[in-house]
Amino acid sequence: MDFALSQEQQEHRDYVRRFAREVIRPVARRHDEEESTPWEVMKEARRWGLQGIEHMQRMGADPAGQFGVITAEELHWGCAGIALAIQGSGLAAAGIAASGTPDQIAEWAPQCFGTDDEIQLGAYAVTEPQAGSDVKSLKTTAKLDGDEWVLNGTKVFITNGGIADVHVVVATVDPELGHRGQASFVVAKGTPGIRQGKKESKIGIRASHTAEVILEDCRIPVENLLGGMDKLNKKLERARSGQKAGSSNALATFEMTRPIVGASALGIAQAAYEWTLEYLGEQTVDGGRPALEEQRIQQVLADVATEIDSARLLVQRAAWMGRAGIPMTGGQGSMSKLKAGDVTMWATTTLMELVGPYAQTTDCPLEKWFRDAKIYQLFEGTAQVQRLVISRMQARTYQERFAQAAEVAAQALNPSSNGTSENGAGSEREPTTTTA
């Protein structure tokens, strides 16, 4: 077991940190104050190879699964809002990759990013006014009318909502089946019936565009159903017959992206911690002693550093499991997001208290990191929902192990039930044939 980053991973981390320091941070405050989309930074990110379909493919090809979380943490170290503007389209692309056919992936995923000359955006539209973290309760409907699907409903708090070139919309085809009656659809820019509603003014991640998406008799071609009609019909047939089902496509997409969200949160926490160390390194306490030699300050900084590192290890483990194809049956993906989100909110709050009154002024960068931190306890599943997911998955795993242990014990107590004769030798039997 090797906990060290490889030479290639370290070089990539340093490369993204340099981009964050030289390109993102100089304009972060302006875009935060103006709540403006940082198009010039996104174009520069493309030039640096940190945005676009080629970047996504390179991240996916990493055998250890670490390049994605490294990139997310370092970009968010620069500015969370700008980082989301750069990376937000990736969620739509992930939704297409999770549900689409090879032809649909080839057609639509590149359109979530555009080209070097023309940046395009993707939006993954799931959340609704009455269904936030509970994706099973979505009310947006999709009804088949001839060779078209007709979508109706309202989505809220959608990253790139209304300005995206590609919207991936999760809608209900059969309300009686819950999440098993849902499907994902691609709505191209300019399609009649889709429009932006209210643009949200947020306390944090203000450089990331967030808005309502309103669908009113929005007609799309039947081939814009991700996965195709045959796949949907088989899924609905299984659901109606009572066969066991896996998770919804939306839930599957979120599970794979949760380590990325956790890493994003840690970028904020790491930035706040590093700045506080630098700031306190120049301060003195009573008697002129350096602040960093004060034990009460050392205690707090030690706790912050320990919590950040522990959260990062959970993120790295979940990212590795996802890339290696190891099922996260114990809720490891949710653990990584939960821990990182909570640590980041706690760390920014604690560091502000350590710095004192200066921390609540707009001249101090801690106030922005504090504002940016809160969303990581809310979106892509609130902290409370993550706890439910983890506890239920842990209980299910325990029950399965207990059942397996009980079966082994029963076989040990009753060897004959396992095809073993009284003297302990195994017996072979001719297969029995029956005729009608």
Q: Is the per-residue pLDDT at 425 higher than 50?
A: no
Which tokens is 309 given? 């590192």
Which residues are within 8 A (CB) of 154 and not within 5 positions of it... i.e. 6 or more apart? 128, 129, 140, 197, 212, 213, 214, 215
Mean pLDDT of the chain: 91
**CATH for the 249-390 domain, from 3.90.25.10, 3.40.50.12160, 1.20.140.10, 3.40.225.10:** 1.20.140.10
User: Can you give the pLDDT at residue 435?
Assistant: 40
Mean pLDDT of 412-421: 66
> What are the residue boundaries of the structural domains of the chain, listed by start?
7-112, 122-240, 249-390
Element (H, E) at 255: helix 249-280
User: For residue 49, what are the CA distances in angstroms to 28, 115, 274?
Assistant: 20, 12, 26
Q: Is the per-residue pLDDT at 119 higher than 50?
A: yes
Residue 166 main-chain phi, psi, to 5 deg: -135, 120
User: Can you give the pLDDT at residue 254?
Assistant: 64
Q: Is the per-residue pLDDT at 313 higher than 80?
A: yes
- The angle at the Cα of 320, spanning 316 to 370, to the nearest 5 degrees, equals 30
Element (H, E) at 186: strand 182-188
Q: Is the per-residue pLDDT at 426 higher than 50?
A: no
Residue predicted with more confidence, 420 or 251? 251
Q: How far is CA 45 from the centre of its chain?
A: 20
Q: Which amino acid is at 212?
A: E
Give the residue numbers marked as catalytic.
Answer: 380
CB 186 within 8 A of CB 96: yes
**Secondary structure (3-state) at 365:** coil
User: Can you give the pLDDT at residue 417?
Assistant: 59
CB 369 within 8 A of CB 205: no
Residue 406: count of CB within 10 angstroms of its CB: 10
User: For residue 368, what are the CA distances in angstroms to 212, 357, 361, 374?
Assistant: 24, 15, 10, 11
Burial class (CB within 10 angstroms; exposed 0-12, middle 13-18, buried 19+) of 286? exposed
Name the residue among 108, 248, 234 with its Cα closest to residue 171.
248
- Topology of domain 122-240 in CATH is Butyryl-CoA Dehydrogenase, subunit A; domain 2 (2.40.110)
pLDDT tens, position by position, 226-275: 999 999 999 999 999 887 665 555 555 566 789 999 999 999 999 999 99
Q: Provide the terminal-to-terminal Cα distance of the chain, rounded to the nearest Å.
A: 59
Give the dihedral of Cα atoms 211, 217, 220, 222; nearest 10 deg.
Answer: 130
CB 105 within 8 A of CB 93: no
Burial class (CB within 10 angstroms; exposed 0-12, middle 13-18, buried 19+) of 259? buried
Residue predicted with more confidence, 90 or 426? 90
- Topology of domain 7-112 in CATH is Butyryl-Coa Dehydrogenase, subunit A; domain 1 (1.10.540)
Q: pLDDT band for position 195 (50/70/90)?
A: very high
Instruction: Please compute, for residue 344, the number of CA atoms within 13 A of its CA located in the half-sphere on the CB side.
Output: 34
Q: Please report, rounded to a whole number, the percentage of residues in the chain having pLDDT higher than 70.
A: 92
Mean pLDDT of 300-328: 95
For the chain, how big is the Rg over CA atoms in Å?
A: 25
Give the dihedral of Cα atoms 312, 317, 321, 323; nearest 10 deg.
Answer: 50
